[in-house]
Amino acid sequence: MYVKVTKSGPRKYVQLVEAYRDENGRPKQRTIATLGRLDKLGDELESVVEGLCRITGRSLPDKPAVSFESSRALGDVWALTQLWNALGFEQLRKAFRGTRHSIQIEALIRIMVMNRLTSPDSKLGVLRWLETVCVPGVGSIKKVDHQHLLRAMDALNTQRDAVNDKVTELLRPLIDQELSVVFYDMTTIRAEGLTEQDEELRQYGRSKDGGIRRQVMLGMVQTAEGLPLYHEVFEGNTAEVKTLQPTLKTIIERFPVKRIVVVADRGLLSVDNLDELKQMTLLNGQPVEFILAVPGRRYSDFEPILEPLQRTVFDSADAEVITETQWQEQRLIVAHDPVRAADETAARDARINAIEEEAQRLTEKLIRQDEGKTTRGRKLSDGGATARLYKEVSESSLAKIVRIDLKSELFSYDIDEKALKRARLMDGKLLLVTNVQDLSPTEVVKHYKSLADIERGFKALKSDIEIGPVYHRLPERIRAHAMICFIALVLHRVMRMRLKAAGSEHSPMRALEQLRSIQYHQATLGGSTVTGVSSMSREQLDIFKALSIENPSVGTDNLIV
pLDDT, tens only, 306-327: 888 888 888 888 889 999 999 8
Is residue 527 assigned to a domain? no
| pLDDT for res 415 | 92
Whether residue 422 is found in the same domain as residue 442:
no
Q: Is residue 136 part of a domain?
A: no
Whether 13 maps to a domain, the answer reads: yes
Report whether pLDDT(99) > 80.
Answer: no
Report how far apart, in Å, the C-alpha atoms of 512 and of each of 161, 509, 518 are: 31, 5, 10
The answer to the question of residue 168 being in a domain is no
22-31, 54-63, 102-111, 434-443: the lowest-pLDDT one: 54-63
Helix (H) or strand (E) holding 156: helix 146-158
pTM over 0.85: no
Same domain, 260 and 243: yes
Residues whose CB is less than 8 angstroms from the CB of residue 399 and which lie 6 or more positions away in sequence, other chains included = 393
**Residue 118: pLDDT band by 50, 70, 90 thresholds?**
very high
* End residue of a domain, out of 10, 38, 61: 61
Q: How many domains does the chain have?
A: 3
Distances from the Cα of 479 to the Cα of 5, 127, 499, angstroms:
73, 21, 30
**pLDDT more than 70, % of the chain:** 92
Please check the confidence at residue 40 and state whether its pLDDT lies above 60. yes
Task: Identify residue 426 by its one-letter amino acid code.
Answer: M
Task: Select from 247, 244, 252, 248 the least CA-distant residue to 268.
Answer: 244
262 and 288 in a single domain? The answer is yes
Same domain (yes/no): 285, 342: no
- Residue 464 and residue 383 in one domain: no
Domain-located, residue 211: yes
> Which comes out higher in pLDDT, residue 488 or 376?
488
Q: Are residues 289 and 187 in the same domain?
A: yes
State which residues form the domain around 181.
177-298+325-332+435-484
Over residues 397-426, the mean pLDDT reads 89
Q: Mean pLDDT, to the nearest integer, of 32-61? A: 74
pLDDT at 269 over 70: no
Q: How many CB atoms lie within 10 A of CB 281?
A: 12
The residue from 20, 43, 61 where one domain ends is: 61
Give a yes or no: residue 111 inside a domain.
no
In terms of pLDDT, which residue wins out, 201 or 178?
201
Choice between 408 and 478, residue whose per-residue pLDDT is larger? 478
**What is the model's pLDDT at position 557?**
45
Q: For residues 417 and 461, state if they share a domain.
A: no
With 50 as the cut, is the pLDDT of residue 232 above it? yes
CB 214 within 8 A of CB 203: yes
Predicted pLDDT of residue 289: 86
Exposed (0-12), middle (13-18) or buried (19+): which is 269, by Cβ within 10 Å?
Answer: buried
Asked, for residue 552, whether it belongs to a domain, the answer is no
- Give the per-residue pLDDT at 60: 67
Task: Give, in order, the Cα–Cα distances in Å from 500 to each of 397, 494, 511.
Answer: 40, 10, 12
pLDDT of 102 strictly over 70: no
Are 368 and 466 in a shared domain?
no
Identify whether residues 419 and 443 lie together within a single domain. no
**Confidence band for 63, pLDDT divided at 50, 70 and 90:** low
493 half-sphere exposure, CB direction, 13 A CA radius: 25
Provide the pLDDT for residue 556: 42
Q: What is the CATH number of the domain that holds 467?
A: 3.30.420
Average pLDDT over residues 110-118: 94
N residues, the chain: 561
Q: Read off the pLDDT of each residue in 133-139 and give the average, rounded to a whole number.
A: 79
- From residue 231, how far is each of 159, 292, 479 by CA, in Å? 15, 19, 10
Annotate 178-221 with three-state secondary structure. Answer: CCEEEEEEEEEEEECCCCCCCCCCCEEEECCCCCEEEEEEEEEE
Is the pLDDT reported for residue 1 higher than 60? yes
Q: Is residue 520 part of a domain?
A: no
Q: 439 and 292 in one domain?
A: yes
Is pLDDT of 207 > 80?
yes
Q: Does 289 share its domain with 369? A: no
Are 443 and 350 in the same domain? Answer: no
pLDDT higher than threshold 90 for residue 442: yes
pLDDT for residue 267: 67
> Which range, 1-15, 58-72, 96-110, 203-217, is most confident?
203-217
Domain boundary among 11, 32, 61: 61
459-474 burial: b if 16+ Cβ within 10 Å, else e:
ebbbebbebbebebbb
